[in-house]
Amino acid sequence: MSRYSARGRLRDHGLGLVGIAGFLVLWELLPRLHVVSEAYLSPPSQVLQAIEQLFSQGQLFKHIWASLQRSLWGLLLAIGLGVLLGLLMGRLPRLARVLGPILQLFRQTSALALFPVFILFFGIGESSKVAIIFWASFWPVLLNTISGVTQVDPLLINSARSMGASSAFVFRKVVLPAAAPSIFTGVRLAGTYCITALVAAEMIGAHSGLGFLTLNSQEVFQIPSMYAGILLLALLGLLLNFVLSLIERWSLRWRQSLAS
């Protein structure tokens, strides 16, 4: 069975590579054959040249590092506060009833709508950028944590308590492990949202970063550099999702041992 499943995975990866190759070929041909003007769609060869030029000028890692720092700070703050508050609200129904309505109101408020508020409180420096990324990343972590805690099977909790387990033991050994998959789902969603919010965050007085590179290149009509910024943002998002997946797999490796 494992041999066939391995073959299936290899076949799926092969089909995925074929799809990517076909997309790149089509992307290259459309502007080359003048189906779409190169003024609007730069072929991948020109995008790679723009990335190489950024590298040779020493700008590439400057933009990547700036965006990576902002994303990680905002994401880590969102994970820390979102998990903590989610655990508390999931275990304390009264606290959930008190904070629920106001959090629902805030959740419906877009980070873009809060631009002026972030600027008033934090200025146009790094703090406002991190705040925007935090705001976009916080909600999936919070909501998935609450959902994971509240959906723990009561039978597991009552069984542990019937054997004399303390509340702290039940929380640490029963509630947290049972809620962990849902929490990690929220963390991975937050990783996606933080990259999406990064572009918006770097609209505020930024002089570096992949979002700044993309927007500034569009303004000065350097289209290959604009697509280079978009491509690098996508790769950064894929890298972040891959790292979060590895952390999730390592943290929940006990589930695989149970399944086997």
Give yes or no: residues 78 and 47 share one domain: yes
Give yes or no: residues 1 and 75 share one domain: no
Give yes or no: residues 20 and 124 share one domain: no
Q: Which domain holds residue 217?
A: 42-257
Burial of 89 (0-12, 13-18, 19+ CB in 10 A): buried
Tokens found for residue 123:
């200025």
Give yes or no: residues 134 and 231 share one domain: yes
Question: In tens digits, what is the pLDDT along the chain, a chain of 260 residues?
Answer: 455 566 666 676 677 788 888 888 998 898 888 888 888 888 999 999 999 999 999 899 999 999 999 999 999 999 999 999 999 998 888 998 998 888 888 888 887 788 888 888 888 888 889 999 999 999 999 999 999 999 888 888 888 888 887 888 888 888 888 899 999 999 999 999 998 888 888 877 778 889 889 988 888 888 999 999 999 999 999 999 999 999 888 888 776 655 55
Give yes or no: residues 47 and 96 share one domain: yes
Tokens found for residue 108:
């419906």
Tokens found for residue 6:
């391995």
* CATH code, domain carrying 252: 1.10.3720.10
Cα dihedral 226→232→235→240 (10° resolution) = -120
Give yes or no: residues 25 and 133 share one domain: no
Give me the number of domains the chain comprises: 2
Task: Tell me the pTM.
Answer: 0.85
Give yes or no: residues 90 and 183 share one domain: yes
Give yes or no: residues 26 and 51 share one domain: no
Distance between CA atoms of residues 220 and 213, nearest Å: 11
Distance between CA atoms of residues 138 and 136, nearest Å: 6
Neighbours of 114 (CB within 10 A): 17
Tokens found for residue 157:
């909790």
Give yes or no: residues 25 and 92 share one domain: no
